Amino acid sequence: MIKPLPVPPTSTYFPALTGLRMVAASLVFLYHFQDKLSPGLAELLAPFLANLHTGVSLFFVLSGFLIAHRYQQTSFPTIQIYGAYLTIRLLRLWPVYGLILAVLYTQWLFTVPEFFLHVSLLMGFFKKLNSTGVMQAWSLTVELTFYALAPLLFQLVRKFSYLLTLVFTFSAGLLLTGLGVILTKLDGNILGFMPDILFTAWQTFFGRAPEFFAGMYLAQVVRFKKHLPFPLPFGLPLTYGGIVLFVLSTCLLSLTTGIHNWPGLVLHHAFMPVSGFIWLAGLIQEKTLVSKILSTRLFKVLGNASYAFYLIHIGWVRNWLEINYTHSALLLFVIFWAIAILIYYLFEKPIYQRVKSRFRVS
């Protein structure tokens, strides 16, 4: 039987979680490249492939855990400390995104409002813009919103509870959606700011909050309880239980035509946070074959490069490679990872290290 491993409260690095980022990015790749797989394989795996956008859910649960584990006990008594924190988080996202966006600017004319919203990563709040520019960057708006609100969320959790804080978050989303609806009725919502509740529930932090909260709660479990207080049925290790639930939930979304209706959204928002919570808990607390593989040097390198991979696997980089080199999904997968590793070590990592050395959050 696999026994939980105590996790030191001060530990801030979990190798298997870095490797999991590679898995999450690869799942999103399969979702976007399912039409390039062999017909037989694509048909066999159709219920799974059709909803592998769930890889993004893993990123969100991971973010919730890592930010909470790093900052949940940090006080933000001054605007300067909060500003330093937010600068670090923003510059974790922006350099690679800005590099890709800069090349895109040479190919596409933006209006001034569009330019501002894309550069500021606020475009994800607007229905007419959230799939433009760097198409997958809508999720960066979700991430950035969480980063901005995290210190407040930590305070609310300490004062109230996770459940009540989640209700507050949903309520804020409803209020902003109400504003969007009013603007739409007044013909003043030209770019589609949070125009309906379905958009808010799927495309913004206020709807995707359960995934982040699952990660936040896991950080508290790790910090104070050392290991989970409950076992899975049949003595199943948490790691494998989380994987099984993740796969089943992803496939079940096909029964509801995915996340484009309320049954699918409810299923997604109920089961994805739970599966992510269990999967991450297992990787942190258990020694399994999966955790050993994800902790290897190769997977840590790929995990570190996963953000760049995520941003280049669709968009102008993909278009250029397909026009000039290959349409093979396998070859593109390898090439994307090679490019992403170069971007990480030559561009992303040096910038982030300089930013962290300059801005301190105590």
Contact 145, 205 (CB under 8 A): yes
CA dihedral 214, 219, 221, 222 (to 10 degrees): 140
DSSP 294-324: HTSHHHHHHHHTHHHHHHHSSSHHHHHHHHH
pTM of the model: 0.93
Is the model more confident about 225 or about 39? 39
Other CB atoms within 10 Å distance of the CB of residue 190: 11
The DSSP string of 265-286 is HHHHHHHHHHHHHHHHHHHHH-
Bridge partners of residue 126, in order along the sequence: 193
- Averaged pLDDT score across all residues of the chain: 91
121 torsion bin: left (phi>0), alpha (psi -120 to 50), beta (else): left
Chain centroid to CA 268: 14
Q: What is the rounded distance in angstroms from the CA atom of residue 281 to the CA atom of residue 65?
A: 10
As a whole number of Å, the CA-based R_g of the chain is 20
- Tokens representing residue 20 in the block: 């999991």
More confident of the two residues 74 and 200: 200
Return all residues near 183 (Cβ < 8 A) that are at least 6 apart: 189, 193
Buried b or exposed e, range 311-337, using 16+ CB within 10 angstroms: bbbbbbbbeebeeeeeeebeebbebbb
Mean pLDDT confidence for 106-111: 79
Q: Which contiguous run of DSSP H or E holds residue 342?
A: helix 329-343
Q: What is the pLDDT at residue 357? A: 81
CA–CA distance, 319 with 136 (Å, rounded to integer): 15
CB 362 within 8 A of CB 74: yes
Nearest Cα to Cα of residue 238 among 251, 223, 222: 222
pLDDT per position as a tens digit, 344-360: 999 999 999 888 888 77
Instruction: Read off the pLDDT band of 224 (50, 70, 90).
Output: confident
- Residue 224's SS3 state is helix
Q: Give the angle subtended at the CA of 275 by the CAs of 270 and 279, to the nearest 5°.
A: 160
* Kind and range of the H or E run holding 242: helix 238-252
Average pLDDT over residues 107-134: 90
For 162-172, what is the mean pLDDT? 98
- Helix or strand holding residue 43 (H, E): helix 39-44
Instruction: Specify whether the CB–CB gap between 194 and 207 falls below 8 A.
Output: no
| Residue 282 and residue 291 in contact, taking contact as beta carbons nearer than 8 Å | yes
Question: What confidence tens digit (pLDDT) does each residue in 47-59 have?
Answer: 888 899 999 999 9
Q: Which residue has the tokens 């394989």?
A: 41
How far is 146 from 124, CA to CA, in rounded Å?
Answer: 13
CB under 8 Å to 39, separation ≥6 — which residues?
none
Q: What is the pLDDT of residues 318-336, one digit of tens each?
A: 999 999 999 999 999 999 9
Contact 171, 200 (CB under 8 A): no
Give pLDDT, residue 78.
87
Answer yes or no: are the C-beta atoms of 305 and 336 closer than 8 Å: no
The residue behind tokens 């699918």 is 264
Average pLDDT, integer, range 278-300? 95
The residues spanned by each domain of the chain are 15-358
